[in-house]
Amino acid sequence: MKTTRTTCPYCGVGCGVLATPQPDGSVTIAGDPDHPANFGRLCSKGSALGETLSLDGRLLHPEIADKRVTWDEALGHIAGRFTRIIAEHGPDAVAIYGSGQLLTEDYYLANKLMKGFVGTANIDTNSRLCMASSVAGHKRAFGSDTVPGNYEDLEQADLIVLVGSNLGWCHPVLYQRIAAARAQRPEMKIVLIDPRRTVTNEIADLHLPIGPDGDSALFVGLLAHLAQTGATDPAYIAAHTSGFDAALLAAEDWDIARVAAATGLAPLAISHFYDLFARTEKVVTVYSQGVNQSAAGSDKVNAIINCHLASGRIGRPGMGPFSVTGQPNAMGGREVGGLANMLAAHMDFTPEAIDRVSRFWDAPNIARKPGLKAVDLFAAMARGEIKAVWIMATNPVDSMPDADAVRAALAACPLVVVSDMNRHTDTMDLAHIRLPAAGWGEKDGTVTNSERRISRQRPFLPLPGEARPDWWIIKEVARRMGHAKAFDYETPSEIFAEHVALSAFDNDGSRDFDLSGLIDADYDTLAPVQWPIRTRPAARMFGDGRFFTPDRKARFVAIQPPPPFAPAPGGFILNTGRVRDHWHTMTRTGKAARLSAHMAEPFVEIHPDDAARLGIRRASLVRLSSRHGTALVRALVTDRQQRGQLFAPMHWTDQFASNGRIDALVPGKTDPVSGQPALKMAQVHAEPAAMR
């Protein structure tokens, strides 16, 4: 029995997995002891991967209008319709909506097809829902979308600040690494900043139950505190940054009393946190969806980065701001430019980059301006401006905010193509053309995790039915659209080699993303490797104090914290999120009985006082409603939840629970800088629905 080294398809930790098919058809799963992300550990989701591989529910043949067709018919139909729509309405009338589940090679080809050859940047991704605010914050501060941290920094830090991150459930192996390090080094302190008292609180020394969108105020106040107490690093600020005075001017009125009023936190607790941060040299600030999924997400990111720049705590072991990504290949998608506002290989739509990428791809028709970000893309579809969309490996009818409006937009769109594994998802059910895509265990390619480490996903199962890898499907459509020469690939390794070459093309060191050290690497045996991988020895990101701005200095951003977000009169603020044992819309984890046993149905967490006031009893049904939709969920009455706030997971869809789609309640409000939707902040009402 052959064991295959591959990578977990769930969260951005990117754990190495050993998969061994057994004679009875089952697959034994174990953590890869040699993978630097997990050193053999797996969480509940990863260890149950073998229970999610059945072909039940799989889409095994292409379909047009519910009828089985050949691949040639399906590919020809897509290419013909896309070509005609582009000819009649222009390139901006078509779009691709991709996913952090795609492998880098898939992503690269989808981006190349749209931006290079169709001539539109209307290619966005569900990663817009996950980390777009971090991308924007990085670019504003560093001049590049660079995550400075490594996982070892979490073990070396003396203070870890977790902001809007339930690491215990959402990045469990990182949580385990921190817990193990803390057991070895009791002097390590952990601060949890989260409106809820989550499982992650079990390792926290201090929990700050911050009010909705209070993060900017908390970190603006911290910047002021660092300056007032002499805890900044003036030499670092002078040598390696710009904009400090303006950022400090914006912060100077934010004393602890004002921060307390804006965040709902006790002044003593704020003071304790500020003192800890000020006196501890090795500080890592980890942040995740609680920061990113906000209408002020980019400002929150920069408020955090400002504090690390002001204290010089970046680019050295055990310190730095650290955005942990949600998806297995959110980072790989960023690397290829698979966001509507990026061009390719970490290059934006600058005249120089357009010229460079156009020459590299030999693509004179290259897109010259950013395209529509996810929320805007579906809004344009609702207005009839997008006439054809190709959705890959994602389920926006459930995961987008204002999900009912997204469903209506897709229902009205003249051409909806969906490539995915399952015959039925709420999105697949709206497709005119269904394409059976290869799944985990069948796909061959690379992913990049939250610490910029590229790992191989390798196949260990045969392709079922007529399923094909995404890269193959994209290149076959591209060839039929007249781009055979530019899409002449036979293997994913050829695509990866081109991706590596583009990262190094005309790169004089002024771009962060550079894989030139992999030019001669053997794809099949590629071991997990962290970028930058330049031909010269890789150094710690920003270890030399040089950033990727024109003057090579990091930029402070002056932050004006938003006013506190309030519920509607008589209502609640709904915070959406995840549970330990499910992933996204459960298309894979929903197949494993033991994963569903943890949380069996959609629920809402509500404080006991609120539940008593509304007559909501433990485990009774609750109807949640907003201006955008409704959901029927079970009450989980708990004082982990603050009064006036609710928490509900986003996993359940119409495939698993009637009227359980939580994102149908959330408005399509976005961060103006990043375009990331504020999925953690909806105004809703709750009422008892029926007795149990």
The region of 39-47, 351-359, 508-516, 532-540 touching ligand SF4 under the rule CB under 6 A is: 39-47
The region of 168-176, 378-386, 408-416, 590-598 touching ligand SF4 under the rule CB under 6 A is: 168-176
HSE-CB at 651 with a 13 A cutoff on CA atoms is 23
Report whether 12 contacts 327 (CB < 8 A). Answer: yes
Complete DSSP assignment for 425-445: -TTGGG-SEEEEB--TTT--E
Report whether 272 contacts 331 (CB < 8 A). Answer: no
Complete DSSP assignment for 98-124: E-TTS-HHHHHHHHIIIIIII----EE
Rounded to a whole number of angstroms, the minimum distance from the CB of residue 513 to ligand SF4 is 22
Of 15 and 380, CB closest to ligand SF4? 15
Residue 116, token pair as written in the block: 């290079």
Residue 516, token pair as written in the block: 């030139």
Should residue 15 be labelled a site residue for ligand SF4 when binding is judged by CB under 6 A?
A: yes
- As a whole number of Å, the end-to-end CA separation of the chain is 50
Q: How far is CA 544 from CA 138, 307, 316, 478, in A?
A: 17, 19, 9, 43
Closest CA to 662 of 604, 612, 611, 597: 604
> How far apart are alpha carbons 333 and 498 in whole angstroms?
15
Of 14 and 577, CB closest to ligand SF4? 14
The region of 9-17, 239-247, 419-427, 508-516 touching ligand SF4 under the rule CB under 6 A is: 9-17
Residue 619, token pair as written in the block: 């485990």
Rounded to a whole number of angstroms, the minimum distance from the CB of residue 20 to ligand SF4 is 16
Rounded to a whole number of angstroms, the minimum distance from the CB of residue 47 to ligand SF4 is 7
Should residue 440 be labelled a site residue for ligand SF4 when binding is judged by CB under 6 A?
A: no
Should residue 10 be labelled a site residue for ligand SF4 when binding is judged by CB under 6 A?
A: yes
Closest CA to 200 of 164, 236, 231, 244: 164
The region of 43-51, 151-159, 284-292, 402-410 touching ligand SF4 under the rule CB under 6 A is: 43-51
Task: Sheet containing 94-98: give its strands across.
Answer: 67-68, 63-64, 433-436, 415-420, 388-392, 94-98, 123-125
Report whether 438 contacts 420 (CB < 8 A). Answer: no
Of 13 and 633, CB closest to ligand SF4? 13
The region of 35-43, 125-133, 380-388, 457-465 touching ligand SF4 under the rule CB under 6 A is: 35-43
Should residue 220 be labelled a site residue for ligand SF4 when binding is judged by CB under 6 A?
A: no
Closest CA to 37 of 51, 17, 22: 17
Of 15 and 392, CB closest to ligand SF4? 15
Should residue 27 be labelled a site residue for ligand SF4 when binding is judged by CB under 6 A?
A: no
Which residue in the set 21, 36, 46, 168 belongs to the binding site for ligand SF4 (CB under 6 A)? 46
Should residue 45 be labelled a site residue for ligand SF4 when binding is judged by CB under 6 A?
A: yes
Give the DSSP H/E element, type plus range, for residue 646: strand 645-649
Of 594 and 618, CB closest to ligand SF4? 594
Of 200 and 341, CB closest to ligand SF4? 200
Report whether 43 contacts 173 (CB < 8 A). Answer: yes
Rounded to a whole number of angstroms, the minimum distance from the CB of residue 171 to ligand SF4 is 6
The packing angle between helices 403-412 and 374-382, to 10°, is: 50
Of 32 and 402, CB closest to ligand SF4? 32
Should residue 587 be labelled a site residue for ligand SF4 when binding is judged by CB under 6 A?
A: no
Rounded to a whole number of angstroms, the minimum distance from the CB of residue 441 to ligand SF4 is 14
Rounded to a whole number of angstroms, the minimum distance from the CB of residue 107 to ligand SF4 is 18
Should residue 461 be labelled a site residue for ligand SF4 when binding is judged by CB under 6 A?
A: no
Size of the site for ligand SF4 (CB under 6 A): 14
> How far apart are alpha carbons 360 and 473 in whole angstroms?
23
Of 173 and 410, CB closest to ligand SF4? 173
Of 216 and 585, CB closest to ligand SF4? 585
Rounded to a whole number of angstroms, the minimum distance from the CB of residue 216 to ligand SF4 is 28
Should residue 288 be labelled a site residue for ligand SF4 when binding is judged by CB under 6 A?
A: no
> How far apart are alpha carbons 597 and 580 in whole angstroms?
11
Should residue 13 be labelled a site residue for ligand SF4 when binding is judged by CB under 6 A?
A: yes
Give the long-range contacts of residues 657-662, CB within 8 A, separation 24 or more.
Answer: 657/601, 657/602, 658/632, 659/630, 659/631, 659/632, 660/601, 660/602, 660/631, 660/632, 660/633, 661/398, 661/403, 661/404, 661/426, 661/629, 661/631, 662/574, 662/576, 662/602, 662/624, 662/631, 662/633
Q: How far is CA 349 from CA 103, 131, 141, 152, 337, in A?
A: 23, 20, 18, 34, 10
Should residue 36 be labelled a site residue for ligand SF4 when binding is judged by CB under 6 A?
A: no
Of 7 and 676, CB closest to ligand SF4? 7
Residue 173, token pair as written in the block: 């192996």
Should residue 173 be labelled a site residue for ligand SF4 when binding is judged by CB under 6 A?
A: yes
Which residue in the set 6, 29, 32, 38 belongs to the binding site for ligand SF4 (CB under 6 A)? 38
The region of 7-15, 180-188, 244-252, 369-377 touching ligand SF4 under the rule CB under 6 A is: 7-15
Should residue 518 be labelled a site residue for ligand SF4 when binding is judged by CB under 6 A?
A: no
Should residue 363 be labelled a site residue for ligand SF4 when binding is judged by CB under 6 A?
A: no
Should residue 14 be labelled a site residue for ligand SF4 when binding is judged by CB under 6 A?
A: yes
Of 13 and 681, CB closest to ligand SF4? 13
Residue 242, token pair as written in the block: 């710009």
Should residue 172 be labelled a site residue for ligand SF4 when binding is judged by CB under 6 A?
A: yes
Of 12 and 436, CB closest to ligand SF4? 12
Residue 433, token pair as written in the block: 């053309």
Should residue 8 be labelled a site residue for ligand SF4 when binding is judged by CB under 6 A?
A: yes
Should residue 43 be labelled a site residue for ligand SF4 when binding is judged by CB under 6 A?
A: yes
Rounded to a whole number of angstroms, the minimum distance from the CB of residue 656 to ligand SF4 is 19
The region of 41-49, 467-475, 618-626, 629-637 touching ligand SF4 under the rule CB under 6 A is: 41-49
Report whether 126 contacts 290 (CB < 8 A). Answer: no
Should residue 247 be labelled a site residue for ligand SF4 when binding is judged by CB under 6 A?
A: no
> How far apart are alpha carbons 166 and 43 in whole angstroms?
14
> How far apart are alpha carbons 113 and 119 in whole angstroms?
8
Rounded to a whole number of angstroms, the minimum distance from the CB of residue 150 to ligand SF4 is 16
Should residue 11 be labelled a site residue for ligand SF4 when binding is judged by CB under 6 A?
A: yes
Of 13 and 265, CB closest to ligand SF4? 13
Report whether 610 contacts 644 (CB < 8 A). Answer: yes
Of 240 and 584, CB closest to ligand SF4? 584
Of 258 and 578, CB closest to ligand SF4? 578
Of 164 and 243, CB closest to ligand SF4? 164
Residue 636, token pair as written in the block: 């989980």
Chain residue whose CB lies nearest ligand SF4:
46
| Interacting residues toward ligand SF4 by CB under 6 A | 8, 10-11, 13-15, 38, 42-43, 45-46, 171-173
